[in-house]
Structure 1
Amino acid sequence: MEFTFNHNNINVLDLEKSLNFYSEALGLVEVKRIEPQDGSFILVYLGDGSTQHSLELTWLRDRSEAYNLGDNEFHLALTVDDFEAAYEHHQKMGCICFENKEMGIYFINDPDNYWVEILPARF
Structure 2
Amino acid sequence: MQFKFLHNNINVFDLGKSLEFYKKALSLNEVRRYNQEDGDFILVYLGDGVTPHQLELTWLRDREEPYDLGENEVHIAFGVDDFEAAHRLHTEMGCICFENKAMGIYFIEDPDGYWVEIIPNKK
Q: What TM-score, normalized to structure 2? A: 0.98
Paired with 1:8 and 1:71, the residues of 2 have a C-alpha distance of 19
1:57 equivalent in alignment to 2:54: no
Q: Alpha-carbon deviations, 1:37-95, whole Å to 9, x = none?
A: 21000000000000000000000000011212121211000000000000000000000
Deviation at 1:120, TM superposition (A): 0.2
The residue type equivalent to 1:3 in the other structure is: F
Paired with 1:108 and 1:43, the residues of 2 have a C-alpha distance of 23
Paired with 1:86 and 1:95, the residues of 2 have a C-alpha distance of 11
Match of 1:77 in 2: 77
The residue type equivalent to 1:29 in the other structure is: N
For the 8 Å contact 1:72–1:115, the answer to whether it is kept is: no
Matches within 5 A, 1:6-21: 6-21=6-21
Paired with 1:74 and 1:36, the residues of 2 have a C-alpha distance of 27
Aligned-pair identity in percent equals 68
Other structure's SS at 2:113 match: coil
Other structure's SS at 2:21 match: helix
Question: Could you list the runs of 5+ residues in structure 1 that have no partner in the other structure?
Answer: none
Match of 2:109 in 1: 109
Paired with 1:121 and 1:10, the residues of 2 have a C-alpha distance of 25
Paired with 2:66 and 2:93, the residues of 1 have a C-alpha distance of 22
Q: Alpha-carbon deviations, 1:17-51, whole Å to 9, x = none?
A: 00000000000000010001210000000000000
Q: What's the RMSD between the two structures over aligned residues?
A: 0.9
1:93 equivalent in alignment to 2:99: no
1:119 equivalent in alignment to 2:119: yes
Question: Could you list the runs of 5+ residues in structure 2 that have no partner in the other structure?
Answer: none
